[in-house]
Structure 1
């Protein structure tokens, strides 16, 4: 696999040559691309090797030149089971969903329960728009083979690989559980009013305001050994409501994350000497903003900056990364 930050003309030539591509960039450029073996999603933010940038004249694309065969589709909210049913015996799936869409919310809630979901890697991102256009533009995803797009569907790219290639799917979460209060919820979802704070019934929005909690930090919980974030979208203390970018799960214990002292250094440490530039990585727009990543390197990790990430399930304020490698000789 290869990553590149290219003009629309260069990406179009790759599509015409038969390349299998995962593409992110401005809607105006995605609309110009020819039909072919690709899916795409809107964004105007990217992490390149020399740092974060906001550009509307380039597309970030990853070419899966190891692909033997591919399928593409845009799945509606009622077709999410197709994500598992349509995959190849050996390969992986890339997905893109528009931010704030019904398909995204339904996958976030129901996706973790899809039979067989974790049997094969599922990687992807949440399409977004420029932050100053959130109220005027809708994020969109594209099915390059069909020549269609959607603001409320899940774009999927199923990739078949030779048996000699393995897939590595990983997440880099710079946040760890803090030492403050415990939060738990009787009901899950993207929006809540009441919760338990250290076992006491409490209105979460008013608690946040009264305690002056820093909502740039996510809630963090241990999901079967993995630290998973739930990020704050909006806190409405007047009406006693809190909205999240991912659903909270009933019965799970959350705490506010510890602050990260140096994001750039933390990404360098997370790379652990790996060639991060050879991976496809999706980093969260909240990390881009709060850590001021524009112009700052992130340990070699490159890829689109998105409104959420997928590593099987929906993630927030996380970096998800996908890489392909030859199967070790002793395993062949």
Structure 2
């Protein structure tokens, strides 16, 4: 569901109950919920599932699991338990579902967590994802609402996954395990989290269905600040740039753009294809990290050493807001 429709639904639903131990809930636009247990331990929970973005069922399971786990990582937490959520048509061979679940199980194992159960239903098309539980010490909990003026913004994966999956589904681009976009979608966001706690990281969010600008807007509103993105510094998949220039853009990008049209101020030199990619809905995208200026270079260096070659400084928190400015020049 697009951000505009979702916000309209949620504002009309009453969710009773107030608990002082609920640190992050409906009052925030974070990636997961956070609840303080006894002492300083905080439990972090999230759920995410979707229809296939690639034809290979095992690979789809891996990508869906990585996407669901990312919500836990974005809050600085370590995943512990996961539960499968699957919808599957009776007209398909059950072996396909087995491969999807195996892909998810292997990915959860890669994260050092355990799949402890789940729920399946019959559905018209395959759907798969996870409900995930993680833990973090209270002082290490990271939300999307703590950014500070002067923070530098680091993005850990390139954009363009929505455009690429549209090309995959249309048979325009070949999809296999060697595709850069597929590799990125199947890559866990655990390595950045291992490094973030070393530095003054004030806010973080993962980039998924609302696109870079949608999630940057949540960070801006949560923090009450102005965020500036330097469009020419944002890493993009090369093929995605080509396809976006041809107009091969998913519908979700236009929904995101419609929702944010009054909140984003674009520089005059930014072309339409690049704008579309900034709104492009991502599947298992990277983390957007808001880190203190004095720590940005060291964090970026550590990310490179950890093998995250695409990690890039793409902007900064520039003043009071909330507002998003997109500029073509660097900082």
Q: TM-score, normalised by structure 2?
A: 0.23
Q: Which has the higher helix share?
A: 2
Q: TM-score, normalised by structure 1?
A: 0.23
Q: Which has the higher strand share?
A: 1
